[in-house]
Amino acid sequence: MTARMVLLTFLLATTAIAAPPRRAGRALVTFYWLIDESAPRYRGKAGAELNDVRGRVIARTSVRFRNDLIREGSGHLRDGRTVAYDRRLHGTNRFRIVQSEYGVGQLGCALVPYRTVAVDPHFVKLGTTISIPQLKGAHLPDGTIHDGIFVASDRGHFHGSHVDLFVGLGPKGARPFIRKGYGSWSHVTVYVVGDATPDDCKRADR
């Protein structure tokens, strides 16, 4: 499924939200993104293997790319494939190739730039549609204006009141929100505005 199709599904779902907003609380905001193996940062010896859950080698890459892939969750390989972090198994990190353009989150949901948000489920229930009023009005790269609505369809590597926004390919994707005055480690107010429909989380092929 393309990012455009996922976004269309999201927009159709959010039009059905009817429940009054409920304040979840103040939260730290950070950003995460899809990394690209062809970036200059990852030049160098391919001294690291990416193995799947069966131990098979998916690709050989730089140690830096593998480490960033574990932290960010998804990335593009030089050969055009999209790889995602899967899990830690028998003391080693495992990965998988996925069909989603921007990769997938820990729950297997396709990541959608400027819509997907990672959370601690104790702060915001996974599958929840949330509103962050401070981010409404941000000018996105495609010329549209953000409405401040996100879907909590990824689980963050953190605990507590914190939201991690997916901004597409590379750290420059965070600029629309930074221009609004909300860079990493800013505080925002999060409201729960409804539950996402099952179609908002499209499982990627494993």
- Provide the mean pLDDT of the chain: 88
Q: 132 with 187, same domain?
A: yes
Task: Give the mean model confidence (pLDDT) for residues 36-62.
Answer: 95
pLDDT of residue 16: 46
Q: 42 with 112, same domain?
A: no
Residue 13 counted as domain residue: yes
Residue 184 counted as domain residue: yes
Domain that holds residue 125: 3-33+106-200
Does the structure show a pLDDT above 60 at 202? Answer: no
Q: 28 with 46, same domain?
A: no
Q: 28 with 45, same domain?
A: no
Q: 91 with 141, same domain?
A: no
Helices vs. strands in the chain: H and E counts, helices first = 3, 11
Does the structure show a pLDDT above 50 at 12? Answer: no
Task: Give the mean model confidence (pLDDT) for residues 106-131.
Answer: 92
Query: For residue 129, which phi and psi values (nearest 5 degrees)?
Result: -90, 130
- State the amino acid at position 30 in one-letter form: T
pLDDT of residue 29: 97
Could you say which of 98, 128, 152 is where a domain stops? 98
Q: 39 with 28, same domain?
A: no
- How many domains would you assign to the chain? 2
Q: How confident is the model at residue 1 (pLDDT cuts 50, 70, 90)?
A: very low
Residue 205 counted as domain residue: no
Does the structure show a pLDDT above 50 at 6? Answer: no
Residue 206 counted as domain residue: no
- Which three-class secondary structure string do you get for 22-77? EEEEEEEEEEEEEEECCCHHHCCCCCEEEECCCCCEEEEECHHHHHHHHHHCEEEC
Q: Which DSSP letter does residue 203 get?
A: B
